[in-house]
Amino acid sequence: MKLQRNGRTKALAIGAVAVVSSLTLAACGSDNNNTSSSASSSASAGTSATAAADCGSGQLLAAGSTAQKNAMDVWVRNFQQQCSGVTINYQGTGSSAGRAQFLAGKIAFAGSDSALSATEVASSASVCTGGGKAIDLPMAGGPIAIGYNLPGVSNLVLNASTLAQIFSGKITHWNDPAIKALNPTATLPSMAIQTFHRSDGSGTSANFTAYLSAAAPSDWSYGSKSAWPAPGGQAAAGSSGLAAQVKQVAGSISYFELSYAKAGSISTASIDTGSGTPVAVSADAAAKGLAGATVVGTGSDLALKLNYADKTPGNYPISLVTYEIVCDKGNKADTLPAIKSFFNYTASDAGQQAAAGAGYMQLPAAITDKVKAVIATLA
């Protein structure tokens, strides 16, 4: 506990904007992706000279995970209202593309729904100078919703087995006996199922397929991969692309973060985990499962292991954690102050609450305390 308290103190001293944000951005916890009047009011309040100095300055280029794009939009907007000397340009290019851009030295940090591989960490030595290496800092958490478009059917229930068979092409129609068994009172049409998966390398795909591998190993033989591994189906780029297809195409089903389902008013399936009662997707239900995540990274790396096969009642089993990837040492001197200040805000209670308002789950303090302690040591 002493280590965490010291880390928290250092983090707040380096990134005073977190303190400012906790005072002036607390109302942002219920924000959506549109600028609210309360946020505008906060912006007009300005910042003190000390806080502005602690913000850093200049432009931060970042890219990667589309899963965290909605959270990042909220964070960037709120942060820049308090730190007008910093411009953050985050592009939702997909996790794989973000990691590649970071390792090529093109961006200050990357967002990824999958932790770095050992090979990627080794190759980061060319970017993280002075003996540094790339590390994973968990920052955004959220459930992966199973969105569907099935006219006349609401409150659809699916389980790992039916999802695995649907996305591997073994179940092809909505009135399949396996789906009917989970939805005995629903009038299921004989409509063909149209599945949509990511066309780009995606941590969302990696986490969704990890769930299928863990919870339905006899029905899913394709492993867990960022590049969609199963045959068949149709592809679209980004979580926004998948959500758009489901909204438009009758009979369709796909996987994307809850924030996209909310934004598009897309129906989502409840998941029968075998615990007795199907669990509807929500940030609170997913957070219960995340509480059991364990840190498997070493040193400053905080990569987590999630238990996708958890059958605890009330736990939504399909979720992901998005990491911000940065150098532990060897970050560029001109962008380091702004990186630390921005990360201090996103890891703060105010930052986490703002993301929760956009459909994400607030990471447990046990995780964010570790993140803050590492932020203080970035060099």
Average the pLDDT over 139-149 and give the result.
Answer: 95
Do 161 and 119 fall within a single domain? no
Higher pLDDT: 49 or 296? It is: 296
Do 51 and 86 fall within a single domain? yes
End of a domain among 287, 310, 338?
287
**pLDDT value at residue 54:** 87
Residue 69 falls inside a structural domain: yes
**pLDDT value at residue 184:** 97
Examine the pLDDT at 38 and tell me if it is beyond 80. Answer: no
**pLDDT value at residue 328:** 98
Examine the pLDDT at 48 and tell me if it is beyond 80. Answer: no
Kindly give, in sequence order, each residue whose CB lies less than 8 Å from that of residue 173, ignoring residues fewer than 6 positions away.
Answer: 190, 191, 192, 193
Spatial separation of the C-alpha atoms in residues 363 and 29, rounded to whole Å = 14
Residue 312 falls inside a structural domain: no
End of a domain among 231, 261, 287?
287
Residue 151: which CATH number?
3.40.190.10
Do 165 and 202 fall within a single domain? yes
Local confidence band at 3 (pLDDT 50, 70, 90 cut-offs):
very low
Examine the pLDDT at 17 and tell me if it is beyond 80. Answer: no
End of a domain among 265, 287, 309?
287
Structural domain boundaries enclosing 353: 2-140+322-375
Spatial separation of the C-alpha atoms in residues 127 and 125, rounded to whole Å = 5
**pLDDT value at residue 155:** 94
Radius of gyration of the chain from its Cα atoms, rounded to whole angstroms: 21
Do 9 and 52 fall within a single domain? yes
Residue 296 falls inside a structural domain: no
Spatial separation of the C-alpha atoms in residues 291 and 167, rounded to whole Å = 28
Residue 316 falls inside a structural domain: no
Do 97 and 172 fall within a single domain? no
Tell me the Ramachandran region of residue 143: left when phi exceeds 0, alpha when psi lies from -120 to 50, beta otherwise. Answer: beta
Average the pLDDT over 239-250 and give the result.
Answer: 97
Residue 306 falls inside a structural domain: no
Do 263 and 153 fall within a single domain? yes
Average the pLDDT over 324-340 and give the result.
Answer: 97
- What is the dihedral sign for C-alpha 324, 325, 330, 333? negative
pLDDT digits (tens, 9 = 90+) for 339-363: 999 999 999 999 999 999 888 999 9
* Count of domains forming the chain: 2
Do 269 and 209 fall within a single domain? yes
**pLDDT value at residue 332:** 95
Residue 314 falls inside a structural domain: no
Do 261 and 340 fall within a single domain? no
Do 40 and 103 fall within a single domain? yes
Higher pLDDT: 273 or 24? It is: 273
Do 153 and 75 fall within a single domain? no
Residue 300 falls inside a structural domain: no
Q: Which of 138, 130, 71, 148 is nearest to 357 (CA)?
A: 71
Residue 302 falls inside a structural domain: no
pLDDT digits (tens, 9 = 90+) for 155-200: 999 999 999 999 999 999 999 999 999 999 999 999 999 999 999 9
Do 179 and 93 fall within a single domain? no
DSSP code for 150: -
**pLDDT value at residue 289:** 76
Do 126 and 197 fall within a single domain? no
Please report the beta strands in the chain, taking only residues with DSSP state E, as ranges in sequence order: 58-64, 86-91, 109-112, 134-149, 157-159, 194-198, 234-236, 252-257, 267-268, 270-272, 294-295, 304-305, 319-327
Q: What is the mean pLDDT of the chain?
A: 87
